[in-house]
Chains A and B, each alone.
Chain A
Amino acid sequence: MLSVQENMIVEFSAEMFDQFAEIKTRYPEGKHKSALLPILHLVQAEYGWLSADAMAKVAEFLAIQPIEVFEVATFYTMFFLQPKGKYVLEVCRTGPCCLVGAEEIMAHIEMRLGVKEGEVTPDGMFSWRGVECIAACGFGPVLQIGPKYTFHEGLTKESVDQLIADLKQKAQTN
């Protein structure tokens, strides 16, 4: 059984509920389960991950069973069921990017952040992982950073260092 070590009790804001309600209008009457993926993205963008409580509350909003949300959340790789770093660096690890050095970039990120794939840096700032093809093979190596999925192409070790420094600075000024 999938274990969910931590739970986080969430309370969706009125604004989030408004967004949920808008999403529901995109689908025909009675087909509101379609809103599940867009809503999960919003929830993850808000809290950084999907806790059991968050999933249960989404289920309640959509009047579906919690297991239906859990099934979906575990199927798609973008959803995190555990807390991650504030910035998750997702490096493409698929064929074409590997032809132009993606593996070296991943090794460099691991060294620079000092944590293994999937782990969180002690300050809670960063996680990283390899992901499958993110459709930018001609501009590799590439990485993306959620929740906005900003995109960084043609990575070099230097540009990765700069990116990490920029993110640290951004976090400080915020």
Chain B
Amino acid sequence: MAEEGKFKVTIDGIPVEVAPGTTILNAARLIGGDIVPPAMCYYSKLEGSGGKCRTCLVKVSKGSEKDPRPMPKLVASCRTTVMDGMEVSNITSDEVLEARKGVVEMLLINHPLDCPVCDQAGECKLQDLSYEHGTEQTRFAFERRTFERVDIGDKIQLHMNRCILCYRCVYVADQLTTKREHGVLSRGDYSEIATFIEAALDNDFIGNVIDVCPVGALTDKTFRFKNRVWFTKPVDAHRDCPTCSGNVTLWYKGDDVLRVTGRKDEYNEVDEFICNTCRFDTKRTQDWILEAPTKVDNESVITANHYLNFNPPPVIKNSSELQAANEEQLARTERLK
């Protein structure tokens, strides 16, 4: 029996007690580690998010103490609440891993796989997911779906080709701003994120769409091609901001702040949403009170910014902008030759 008022749920054999109303995913996050299902669309700070990407599917092998029947289908752990006595399998279920592999394949068939030129590379959840659950080769032998790249506002760029339609950015606009100017148009695999005709996103908090985007679909134009994230050093800092909390992460290269983002937790969610002024227009060290280097997961490429050999893909060779961004690495490779 669980503690009074709590539900006991077992995930991959590990028990945890949680408050009623907790989702399976959040119960798993309380346990932590490998048994936490991946989540590409769910974002705990955005109401209504989740359920769409299907990467967090798990198997409920026992519904509850009262009704022990298993659930007939895999369920989205981010939107399914626990029952007392529920038993869930995630990484211990072949069925789940098989389904997840299938979902990852679906997410990738129309993805451009342009990681070498994508600013999100290194902190991209789709990249992580593909490493963990993807296959080495694609079975998709058709032309990929493409869209034009568009600037939505002067600070944000939309690469619709990379989008996985998680809807997080739509929820940001709905929940953090007073006037939503972008949304999902069309339907099916023609769906796209876009504005009403050619409106620009313009709102104090709209920059947060960049932080919530799990892939490189919405990127910070002020950081575009400036550097690879794994060559930059994250430092937590704050300032007295009249609009937001002012608690941010500064991404340094040498003495320069190349980028400002919200502070993200281990699930890539920001602690607090920050305003556009902090994000885009406050990039001098003297504007900030530095706290400490941001804690970075040991497995993240951000801790591993010292490749011995750097073989630039052709796309870098052909672009002076990209060459400049990778200058240091190219020089190092030359030296080591």
Of A15-23, A64-72, A88-96, A151-159, the stretch lying at the interface with chain B is A64-72
Across the interface, do B179 and A71 meet the contact criterion of CB distance under 8 Å?
no
User: Per-residue 0/1 for B284-312: is the Cβ within 8 Å of any A Cβ (1 yes, 0 no)?
Assistant: 00000000000000000000000000000
Q: How large is the interface on B (under 10, 10 to 19, 20 to 34, 35 or more residues)?
A: 20 to 34
Contact across chains for B185 and A70 when beta carbons are under 8 A apart: yes
In the bound complex, CA of A74 to CA of B179 (Å): 20
Interface 1/0s, chain B 151-192, versus A by CB < 8 A?
Answer: 000000000100000000000000000011111111100001
Query: How near does chain A come to B195, taking the closest CB pair, in angstroms?
Result: 7
Could you say which residues of chain B place their CB within 8 Å of the CB of A68? 180, 183
State whether the Cβ of A52 lies closer than 8 Å to any Cβ in chain B: yes
**A63 at interface by CB-CB < 8 Å:** no
Given contacts A1-B148, A67-B181, A67-B182, contact A75 B194 (CB under 8 A): no
Name A75's contact: one of B150, B179, B181, B186 (CB within 8 Å). Answer: B186
Please, which residue of chain A has its CB at the minimum distance from the CB of B158?
A: A1
Residues from chain A with a CB closer than 8 A to the CB of B192 are: 1-2
CB distance from A49 to the nearest CB of B (A): 15
Residue of B nearest to A2 (CB): B185
Known: A1-B147, A1-B148, A65-B180. A70 touches B187 (CB 8 A): no
- Do residues A67 and B148 form an inter-chain contact, with CB atoms below 8 A? no
Q: Does any Cβ of B come within 8 Å of A14's Cβ?
A: no
B150 to chain A, nearest CB (A): 5
Please give the number of chain A residues whose Cβ is less than 8 angstroms from any Cβ of chain B in the complex: 15
Query: Are the C-beta atoms of B196 and A67 separated by less than 8 Å?
Result: yes
Known: A70-B185, A74-B186, A74-B187. A1 touches B194 (CB 8 A): yes
Tell whether B141 is near chain A: CB-to-CB under 8 Å: no
Complex contact B195–A67 (CB within 8 A)? yes
How distant is the Cα of A55 from the Cα of B185 in the complex, in angstroms? 14
> What's the least CB distance linking A159 to chain B, in Å?
33
Is B321's beta carbon under 8 Å from chain A? no
In angstroms, Cα B150 to Cα A2, docked, is 11
**Contacts A1-B148, A75-B186, A75-B187; A65 near B181 (Cβ below 8 A):** yes
Chain A residues within 8 Å of B327, by CB? none
A4 proximal to B (CB < 8 A): yes
30 of the cross-chain contacts (CB-CB < 8 Å) are A1-B147, A1-B148, A1-B150, A1-B160, A1-B194, A1-B195, A1-B198, A2-B185, A2-B186, A2-B192, A2-B194, A4-B197, A52-B196, A52-B197, A55-B196, A65-B180, A65-B181, A67-B182, A67-B183, A67-B195, A68-B180, A69-B196, A70-B183, A70-B185, A70-B197, A71-B184, A74-B185, A74-B187, A75-B185, A75-B187
